[in-house]
Structure 1
């Protein structure tokens, strides 16, 4: 596995995704609001998104990021790629300041340094860089997929309850953000599986594989829920939830589904867990800062 190439591809992907996120955030407040998750509301929401130039621009940037992510996942491990992609939150903050015409504060620079250090520390101490990923184990993959589906359904159902209450928008947005993060992690695992099928058996086998169609459904669901999370409440609630859930679930999927063996020695294990905790805190705080920079009124619901 070419570590430098994997990291470079993942960083490029993160930069594209950061641009995509900024564009889609700008478009979210201009979409019809989804309140009761009725079919007519969902169709109207999807139709409005497909006609909006900012949203379409975000999708174009997503395509660029996805192409680089696919290449990175094909030659590298799920854990390495998804942990490096966490840097997208830092890229997004830079883009947000550029759009707003402002500069990053010392606190933001410090949080960025902490994020980079914690991700680097985890990759080095956990042994993720030297772990050799295998093809997905069928039974663990199915069980993991069902677990993610159950978690997403539970979180979406819970968000509906909170969205109907006064002052519940923050919790609703956070729950939808967690659902999006889980879907993103599952989508990355499916992308890696599809690239393995393509490389081993060719394009025809990929077209007839169930993994490809699960990937399409998961990708579309993630896009829809992400836009709904942006609208459900303040971005300072949804963005940190998505940004922290994605890498943590990805680590679990890498170990359980792809047999990416991490170090179990006491010292490296403790340091790895500590790095993940520090990374999660830095990601959450940087996401909140980014939300405020992109949308100064993000402390209140966007509807």
Structure 2
């Protein structure tokens, strides 16, 4: 484990993602069908040059995240994703948005304070291994099926509920994906790149990354079409690190302290991050969705 590499690249990944998400949301809103998600809307986005540039930014962020996860534990690196929101707020301002309000600053304090306290509580994981392929496969299938069921159940709900569910499911996919990236990078370190294509312990995580990544990106863009940003982003950024930590501990056996004081601390940190995320997302939503804020 090399935190001097893992943490800077993890932060850089969040910065790139936070910048890209502002552009993606703006383009998705411009091409949404009156706040309704649709496959046709996704196809229009896929042909938009600015949107494609933002997706290229996501690819850069993903590469940074791979480097971070190959050098550090998932339970330490994946929570850094919540830095996307303060970054997104700053990028919105640079792109002509309003100056941050007191609520925005308090949201930043909540996100950064909750993240910092969580990392302090976690400490430095010392145990890690690559699970057997069938365990990985079962976990990924379970996450995909449960997520798909939640999306189906929420499809007829109000926009704010759909946005929250789409965001949470996409976040759970990305958090699980991070665990798969860590498992795949471990195979590469042990047996070389060829192991990703010739051994089950390499192929299963690699295929899982592709499937989870595609599903997560599609759901994220659908949630942007819905437009309920104040519900979507907090749900996404709560589920993403939560799934990363859970599966990092269960599948990779990364050590996470589980005493009663630690568990209480984790809940407080999560509450602080979610509260800060809601404040920041609502601040952005007031700019991005002036005509639909009352929906």
TM-score (norm 2): 0.89
Asked if the contact 1:32/1:48 (under 8 Å) is kept, the reply is no
- Cα distance change, pair 65–94 in 1 and its aligned pair in 2 (3 A): same
Give the Å deviation of 1:249. Answer: 1.6
- Cα distance change, pair 184–233 in 1 and its aligned pair in 2 (3 A): same
Do residues 160 (structure 1) and 155 (structure 2) align?
yes
- CA distance in structure 2 between the partners assigned to 1:174 and 1:29 by the alignment: 17
RMSD, aligned CA: 2.3
Do residues 291 (structure 1) and 276 (structure 2) align?
no
- Cα distance change, pair 33–202 in 1 and its aligned pair in 2 (3 A): farther
Per-residue CA distance 1:223-248 (angstroms, 9 max, x = gap): 11111111124222222211211112
Aligned to 2:27: 27
- Cα distance change, pair 81–95 in 1 and its aligned pair in 2 (3 A): same
- Cα distance change, pair 141–280 in 1 and its aligned pair in 2 (3 A): farther
Stretches of structure 1 that go unaligned for 5 or more consecutive residues are 163-167
Give the Å deviation of 1:283. Answer: 2.0
Which of 191, 195, 210 is the aligned partner of 1:205? 195
Asked if the contact 1:16/1:61 (under 8 Å) is kept, the reply is yes
> Which secondary structure state, in structure 1, belongs to the residue aligned with residue 30 of structure 2?
coil
TM-score (norm 1): 0.87
Which of 161, 186, 208 is the aligned partner of 1:196? 186
Which of 153, 163, 172 is the aligned partner of 1:182? 172
Give the Å deviation of 1:20. Answer: 1.0
Which of 125, 129, 136 is the aligned partner of 2:131? 136
- CA distance in structure 1 between the partners assigned to 2:181 and 2:208 by the alignment: 10
Aligned to 2:5: 5
Aligned to 1:18: 18
Give the Å deviation of 1:24. Answer: 0.6
- CA distance in structure 2 between the partners assigned to 1:297 and 1:19 by the alignment: 23
- CA distance in structure 2 between the partners assigned to 1:53 and 1:83 by the alignment: 31
Give the Å deviation of 1:136. Answer: 3.4
- CA distance in structure 2 between the partners assigned to 1:63 and 1:57 by the alignment: 10
Give the Å deviation of 1:13. Answer: 0.4
Per-residue CA distance 1:64-117 (angstroms, 9 max, x = gap): 111110000111111111111211111111111221343222332222122212
Asked if the contact 2:32/2:226 (under 8 Å) is kept, the reply is no
Number of positions where the alignment pairs a residue of Structure 1 with one of Structure 2 = 291
- CA distance in structure 1 between the partners assigned to 2:102 and 2:246 by the alignment: 33
Which of 221, 228, 235 is the aligned partner of 1:234? 228
- Deviant stretches of 4+, over 6 Å: 34-37
- CA distance in structure 2 between the partners assigned to 1:287 and 1:229 by the alignment: 13
Per-residue CA distance 1:246-301 (angstroms, 9 max, x = gap): 11222211111111111133333322332222222222322222232344335256
